[in-house]
A and B are shown apart, each in its own frame.
Chain A
Amino acid sequence: MAVSNSVSKYRRLALWCLALAVTVIVFASGHSTPRKYPERKVVRFWHRWQGDWEKQVQKIVDAFNQSQTEYEVVAVSVPGSGADAKFILGVIGGDPPDLMSMGSGAVPNMAANGFLTPLDTLMTPAEHKAFFDESYPAIRDTGMYRGHCYGITIGADLMALYVNCKQLRDAGFDPDNFPKTMQGVEEMGTKLNQHDKDGHLTRLGFLLTDIAYNSHLFGGGFYVKEDGTLELDTPQNERALETMVNYRKKVGLEEVLRFQAGLNDIEGAASWAFMHGDLSITYDGQWRVEELRKFKPELEYRVYPVPPPKENGTPLGGLVGGNYMIVPVSGKQKQGAWEFLKFWTGLDNPDRAATFYNMGGWLPYSPAVAKSPTFQKWLKENPQFQAFLDILASPNCKPPPPIANLQFLNDLITHAEDQASQGAETPKQALAELEKKFKEERDKRRALGYDE
C-alpha cells in the first residue's frame, strides 16, 4: 500500500512537472514570428495590407533586411478594422510596434494625445532639410500636426476617373477626347448606363462620390482654420454636394444603392467591378493602375483627373489620404524604424525607392522619386498613372485639416454625404447639420479642457 502511494505521489509530481514544462515552453519561449537574423536588433513593423499587398510589403522588408546588417524588420499584417485599437493597447501595455502604417485620418488625433514620436526628431539636419524641401507639400502636410511631422507616407492616395475605352467607343464616344467639365462626364455617364428588362441598372456609366475629395474641384474643402474659423457649410461645398446628389437622383437614388450593393468587389484586387465591365467611368484610387496591369492587362482604359464643374471650378483639385508611417512614442527601436522608413520612402535614395512605390502603385512622397529613372521607366509602361502625378503636383491638391478631432470631422462629412445621397436631407440641411454638430463637439471639447 505504501509503495503504491509512493508511486502515485511520484506520478503526480511528474505530471505537475510536465504541465509546468509545457506552460513554460508555450508562454516563455522564443518569438511567435520567425527571425531570419536573430543576432540583429529587431524592428517590429505593423501594417494593414493583406493579400497581394502583403506580399509586396514583405518584398520591401526583405530588401531592407538584406541591405544592411544592424536591423531586422519583422512585418506583421494587422487587419485594418481593429488596427488602431490594437496599436493603442500595444502602447498601454508597453509593447507597441516600432513602426506602423496608420490611416492618415488617425494621425493628428494620435499625435495630439501623445502616442506618436515627432519624426523630425529622428532626422539629421540634412534629412530634415531634404524632407521639408523636397516633399510634395500636400503629402508632407497630411502627416503634420502643430508644426511637427508625425507621419510620413509610403502610400498616399489620390482619386481620379478610370474609363473603359471599349464601352465608350461602343456608345459613340472617343475615350481620348474626354469631357473637360463635370457636366460633360455626367452626360456621357447617363448614356453609358444600361438596364435590364425590369429597369434595374446592369451597368453604371458614371457616379461621383466622396464629397471630402471632390469639394476641392468646386473651390471648397472641409477646413478648420487655426483661428477657429470653420469652412464646412460653405457655398462651394454645398454646390459640390448638390451636384453629386442631383446626378444621383437622375440615375435613381434607390437604383444606385441597389446596383452598388450588388457589385462583387468587396475584397480583392482581381474582383474590382471596373475590370468586369460593370462600371464604364469610375472614381477610384491610383493603386488600381498596378492592379489592372497585374490582373487585367488586356483591358484598354484611360485615367483622367475628375474634371471641375463648368463654372467656378478648380482643376486638378483633390485631397491626400492613405497610409502614413508612424513611430510610437514608446517604441523600443526608433532608430531602426527610421532607417527602414528612409529606405522605403527613398529619402536617402529616390531611385532605389521608386521600385517600391511601383510595386504597390503608390504615389511617391517627392518629385525626386517621381523623376528618378526607375520611376520614369515604370511610368512609360503605365502612362495612365500620370494623371495622379498631375493632381499631386497641382496647388489645388490639399491635405486634410491638421486638427485633433479629424476622425470626428471625417465621420460627420461621411454622414452628411450619406444623408444627402439617401434623400433624407437636402445638401444644404446636411451641411448645416454637419457644421452645427462640429461646433457642438468643439464646445464640448473646450468645456472638458482640451486645448484645441
Chain B
Amino acid sequence: MTNRTNYRARQHLVGYLFISPWLIGFAAFTLWPFLQSIYLSFTRYNIVSPAKWVGLANYRMLLTQDPLFWHSAWVTIRFALISVPLAIVAGIALALLLNINVKGIAVFRTIFYLPSIVPTVATSVLFIWLLNANIGLINKMLALLGVTGPAWLKTAPWAFYSLILMALWGVGGSMVIYLAGLKDIPVHLYEAATLDGANAVRKMRHITLPMMTPVIFFNLVMGIIGAFQYFTQAYVMTPTGGPEDSTYFYSLYLYNRAWKYLDMGYASAMAWILFLIIILMTGIVFRSQKKWVHYGG
C-alpha cells in the first residue's frame, strides 16, 4: 500500500516537474503581476517610488471624474457590439462557401486563412495604405464605381468603421474553426432532412446552425474577450485616439495612463475594471448558452 502511494506521489512529482517550467513562468510572469496589480490599483504608483496607498480613490475618480474613461469604454463596447457579430456572420458565411467541394478548394481555404497569420502590426501598416484617402486601393476601387470614398482614418466616424472593416481581415482564423464544425455535422441529418423534403434554407436553419452553436459559442466568447482588449491596431493606425477620439479604445487609454502619464495605480484600476467587465460579459454569455447552444450529435 505504502509502495503504491509512494509510486503515485513520484508519478505526480514527475508530472509537476515536467510542467514546472511553465508553472514557474506562469507564477512569476502572470500570477504574481496579476495579484500585485490588485494592490497597485489602490495606490498611487509611478514604478520608481514606493506605492502610496490611496484607498478607493483611483476607482472613485475613474467612475465619477473621468469622462475619457467612459468614452473609451463606450468606444470599446460599440466595437465589440458591431465587430463580434459581424465576424461571426462573416466567418460562418466563408466557412459555408469553403465547405463546398469544388476543384482547388484547398487553395481557396489557404488564401482566406493566410491573412489571419500575418502579424497585427504588418496588417495595420498595410491597412494604413489601403485606406489612404487619395492613393489607397479601397478608394480607387470605389472611384471605379463612381463613389468618392471618405478620408477613412482621418475623419470621424470613418476611422472607427475602418477598424471594424479591418477586423474582418482576420476572420480566416475563426473560419477554420467553423469549417471544422461544419465537417463535424453528421451527414445522416441532412439525408433525413432531404427525405423529409427540406430545402436548403430549412436545412441551414434547423440543422447547420443548431449544430454549429457550440463553435459559435466558442468564437463568441473569444471574440468578446479579444474586442475588449483591442489595442495594437488602434495604437498603430490612430495612436492619438483618432479624429474626435473616435478610436480611443479602452486599452489605448489604459496604455497611455500607464506608460505616458506614469499613473500605474490608476492604470491598474482600469485594468481591473476591464477584467471585471470581461468576466461579466463572458459570464452572461455562458449563462445564456443553455438557451441556444446545442450539444447534440
Pick the residue among A254, A264, A411, A418 that contacts B151 (CB under 8 A).
A254
Q: Are B44 and A450 in contact (CB under 8 A)?
A: yes
A257 on the interface (CB 8 Å rule)? yes
Q: Are B259 and A261 in contact (CB under 8 A)?
A: no
Q: Pick out which of these stretches binds chain A: B28-36, B107-115, B128-136.
A: B128-136
CB distance from A347 to the nearest CB of B (A): 28
Q: Pick out which of these stretches binds chain A: B48-56, B92-100, B186-194.
A: B48-56
Cβ–Cβ < 8 Å partners of B103 in chain A: none
Count A-side interface residues using an 8 Å CB cutoff.
42
Pick the residue among B61, B156, B243, B265 that contacts A447 (CB under 8 A).
B61
Given A85-B259, A113-B262, A408-B261, do A260 and B154 touch, yes or no (CB 8 Å)? yes
CA gap between A81 and B46 in the complex, in Å: 20
| A 413-424 to B, binary, CB cutoff 8 A, 1 in contact else 0 | 011001100101
Given A257-B154, A261-B151, A422-B156, do A113 and B132 touch, yes or no (CB 8 Å)? no
CA gap between A162 and B148 in the complex, in Å: 32
Given A113-B46, A259-B134, A407-B260, do A419 and B151 touch, yes or no (CB 8 Å)? no
Minimal Cβ-Cβ distance residue in B for A253: B155
Pick the residue among A259, A408, A443 that contacts B65 (CB under 8 A).
A443
Q: Are A424 and B133 in contact (CB under 8 A)?
A: no
Cβ–Cβ < 8 Å partners of B271 in chain A: none
A26 on the interface (CB 8 Å rule)? no
Cβ–Cβ < 8 Å partners of A81 in chain B: 239
CA gap between A447 and B60 in the complex, in Å: 11
| A 381-422 to B, binary, CB cutoff 8 A, 1 in contact else 0 | 000000000000000000000000101100100110011001
A78 on the interface (CB 8 Å rule)? no
Q: Are B133 and A258 in contact (CB under 8 A)?
A: yes
CA gap between A254 and B133 in the complex, in Å: 10
Q: Are A258 and B134 in contact (CB under 8 A)?
A: yes
CA gap between A91 and B57 in the complex, in Å: 27
Pick the residue among A262, A408, A411 that contacts B132 (CB under 8 A).
A262
| A 81-117 to B, binary, CB cutoff 8 A, 1 in contact else 0 | 1001100100110000000000000000110011100
Pick the residue among A92, A408, A411, A444 that contacts B61 (CB under 8 A).
A444
B224 on the interface (CB 8 Å rule)? no
A52 on the interface (CB 8 Å rule)? no
CA gap between A115 and B265 in the complex, in Å: 17
Q: Are B156 and A440 in contact (CB under 8 A)?
A: no
Cβ–Cβ < 8 Å partners of A408 in chain B: 261
B66 on the interface (CB 8 Å rule)? yes
CB distance from B182 to the nearest CB of A (A): 41
Given A91-B47, A113-B49, A261-B132, do A424 and B244 touch, yes or no (CB 8 Å)? yes
B208 on the interface (CB 8 Å rule)? no
Cβ–Cβ < 8 Å partners of A113 in chain B: 46-49, 262
B230-246 interface (Cβ within 8 A of A): 239-241, 243-245
A20-45 interface (Cβ within 8 A of B): none
CA gap between A261 and B245 in the complex, in Å: 18
Cβ–Cβ < 8 Å partners of A198 in chain B: 148
B41 on the interface (CB 8 Å rule)? no
CB distance from B282 to the nearest CB of A (A): 29
Which residues does B use to contact A, with CB under 8 Å? 44, 46-49, 52, 54, 57-58, 61, 65-68, 128, 132-135, 148, 151-156, 239-241, 243-245, 256, 259-262, 265-266
A-B contact pairs, 5 of them (CB 8 A): A113-B47, A198-B148, A257-B133, A261-B152, A448-B266
Which residues does A use to contact B, with CB under 8 Å? 81, 84-85, 88, 91-92, 109-110, 113-115, 198, 200, 254, 257-264, 266, 329, 405, 407-408, 411, 414-415, 418-419, 422, 424, 437, 440, 443-444, 447-450
